[in-house]
């Protein structure tokens, strides 16, 4: 009945409280730990994570509240009006040291060989809040090492501090109860649930949230020290979701991808499949321009490509096609769309990409292309499909083709009189092309993708392009000049700005530098 309906909740009232002698005001519903973080007061923790529930099991975040008989966990306790809190009283500091000593009691001294060294929360808290010699006589509880938990994860049970973060990732993010705690007391240990393996699609998030080196990724294990890595903000190219990530690289080689927090897109997570997309950046690359199957200079290759395309255009623009890929950046798509319309004068512009795959209702999209939305926004309603491309190739409508980017199963290319390919990898199109030009990949360029939500998100170049590979927009500009174009682009930002001016649905996009939450990672940052 209408009379039984409850009014929608109004805005939360603010609470006034005192932290370490200073008055503050916070919205109701925050925990004390979150309130402290908002005003820059450091309270250490192990078990708490902003994307998970708070079980208050580590007792490292204890604070003193006036009127309470003993310290309480700040990660679990909500703020209240007139509350007076101390985060640095002698009592709190002493309890904090005691909890650290207790956590370290049976912890192995593995720091010299531990993958987490350099980004370990236990290391950091020890030096920040304790830094005293151990009183343990060396007799410690021994547990299993190098335990194979699943397809991607190895566990060292001795290092585990029983924070339960990994268990909550499985339960609350992946929605699969793969991990449990077994036994009690100082014999308690992390293990897989009976009859299960840690093989859910989000299993590598357990490595991210592990505050110590208990859970390690087989893909990264013993490959690189954390302090040698450079962290570059970017976007996952694995599907249309566009999870925000950091590319961790060293010596121009990508070592791992980890999620970068974005509450509106991926929160704090990403799937295992997306994490491994970096491998292809270093495999089977086209590293030099090719003319008639032989390496050539950029000038020679561009001259020959322009000659082939101009000849086909002048004979009959209706038999000349341009294939763009939903794997390309907005900047590359805009530059080649302009090239096709203004200088190749063809209306046969096709859009191709990776086929659809598995999906879920957590993060993974069935569309395995990072920029389908951007391609459709930039290309407009005149774009033709991959099905149209196959049909036009089979019926002989096309005699010349400019194929740009990665496009799976585009059809038979043997009937073409002229084929110019711009791609990042070796393959059948390169073998069939008269001219093949090496294209830089997503991790090697500045640019942007537009995800399935319509959010334009920035990519930053993390590594040097392979061999002589170049960004797509730069190749389009040089190819355009060889075809008589007057326009030039100095950098990706210039292309982006022009696209925002000419494409209404990109008008609100911002090239600005994204914020990197430094408290969640320890690698060096750039970008």
Whether 442 is in a domain gets the answer: yes
Whether 256 is in a domain gets the answer: no
Whether 328 is in a domain gets the answer: yes
pLDDT at 267: 97
Same domain, yes or no: 89 and 144: no
Q: Give the domain CATH number at 298.
A: 3.40.50.740
Whether 254 is in a domain gets the answer: no
Domain boundary among 223, 240, 270: 223
pLDDT at 8: 47
pLDDT under 70 in the chain at which residues? 1-12, 407-409, 513-527
Question: Contact, 107 vs 67, CB < 8 A?
Answer: no
- Considering only CA atoms, which of 259, 128, 250 is closest in space to residue 206? 259
Residues 6+ apart with CB under 8 A from 172: 52, 53
Same domain, yes or no: 308 and 441: yes
Whether 460 is in a domain gets the answer: yes
Same domain, yes or no: 389 and 321: yes
Domain total of the chain: 3
pLDDT at 527: 57
Domain boundary among 201, 223, 245: 223
Same domain, yes or no: 405 and 342: yes
Whether 262 is in a domain gets the answer: no
Same domain, yes or no: 310 and 385: yes
Residue linked to tokens 């925990």: 31
Same domain, yes or no: 63 and 206: no
Whether 393 is in a domain gets the answer: yes
Which ranges constitute the DSSP H helices of 15-61? 32-38
Same domain, yes or no: 356 and 417: yes
**Rounded to whole angstroms, how far apart are CA atoms 425 and 421?**
11
Same domain, yes or no: 348 and 483: yes
- Considering only CA atoms, which of 156, 99, 100 is closest in space to residue 123? 100
**Rounded to whole angstroms, how far apart are CA atoms 418 and 211?**
57
Same domain, yes or no: 216 and 321: no
Same domain, yes or no: 490 and 415: yes
Domain boundary among 85, 104, 123: 104
What's the domain range around 66? 15-104
Same domain, yes or no: 143 and 100: no
Whether 446 is in a domain gets the answer: yes
Same domain, yes or no: 399 and 470: yes
pLDDT at 2: 39
């Amino acid at each position: 009945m209408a009379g039984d309906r409850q009014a929608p909740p109004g805005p939360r009232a603010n609470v006034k409280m005192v932290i370490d002698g200073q008055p503050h005001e916070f919205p109701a519903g925050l925990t004390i730990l979150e309130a402290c973080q908002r005003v820059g007061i450091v309270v250490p923790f192990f078990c708490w994570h902003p994307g998970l529930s708070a079980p208050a099991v580590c007792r490292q975040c204890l604070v003193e509240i006036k009127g309470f008989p003993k310290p309480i966990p700040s990660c679990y306790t909500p703020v209240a009006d007139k509350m007076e809190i101390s985060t640095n009283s002698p009592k709190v500091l002493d309890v904090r040291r005691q909890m650290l000593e207790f956590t370290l009691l049976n912890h192995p001294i593995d720091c010299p060989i531990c993958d987490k060294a350099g980004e370990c929360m236990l290391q950091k808290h020890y030096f920040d809040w304790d830094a005293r010699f151990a009183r343990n006589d060396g007799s410690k509880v021994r547990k299993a090492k190098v335990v194979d938990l699943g397809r991607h994860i190895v566990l060292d049970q001795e290092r585990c501090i029983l924070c339960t973060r990994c268990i909550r990732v499985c339960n609350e993010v992946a929605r699969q109860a793969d991990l449990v705690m077994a036994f009690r007391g100082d014999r308690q240990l992390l293990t897989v649930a009976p009859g299960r393996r840690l093989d859910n699609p989000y299993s590598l998030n357990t490595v991210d949230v592990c505050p110590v080196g208990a859970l390690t990724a087989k893909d990264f294990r013993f490959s690189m020290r954390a302090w040698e890595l450079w962290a570059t903000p970017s976007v996952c190219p694995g599907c249309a979701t566009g999870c925000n990530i950091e590319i961790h690289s060293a010596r121009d080689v990508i070592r791992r991808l980890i999620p970068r927090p974005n509450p509106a897109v991926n929160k704090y997570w990403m799937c295992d499949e997306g994490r491994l997309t970096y491998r292809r950046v270093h495999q089977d690359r086209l590293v030099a321009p090719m003319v008639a199957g032989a390496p050539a200079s950029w000038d020679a290759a561009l001259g020959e490509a322009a000659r082939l395309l101009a000849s086909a255009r002048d004979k009959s623009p209706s038999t000349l096609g341009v294939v763009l890929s939903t794997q390309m950046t907005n900047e590359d798509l805009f530059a080649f769309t302009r090239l096709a319309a203004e200088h190749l004068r063809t209306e046969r512009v096709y859009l191709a990409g990776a086929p659809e795959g598995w999906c879920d209702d957590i993060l993974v999209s069935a569309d395995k292309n990072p920029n389908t939305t951007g391609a459709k926004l930039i290309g407009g309603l005149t774009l033709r499909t991959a099905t149209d491309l196959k049909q036009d190739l089979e019926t002989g409508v096309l005699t010349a083709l400019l194929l740009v980017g990665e496009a799976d199963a585009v059809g038979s290319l043997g009937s073409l009189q002229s084929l110019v390919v711009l791609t990042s990898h070796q393959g059948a199109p390169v073998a069939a092309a008269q001219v093949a030009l090496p294209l830089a990949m997503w991790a090697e360029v500045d640019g942007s993708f537009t995800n399935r939500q319509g959010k334009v998100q920035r990519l930053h170049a993390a590594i040097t392009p392979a061999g002589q590979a170049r960004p797509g927009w730069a190749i389009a500009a040089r190819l355009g000049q060889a075809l008589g174009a007057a326009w030039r682009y100095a950098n990706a930002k210039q292309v982006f700005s022009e696209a925002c001016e000419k494409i209404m649905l990109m008008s609100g996009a911002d090239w600005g530098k994204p914020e990197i939450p430094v408290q969640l990672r320890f690698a060096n940052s750039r970008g």
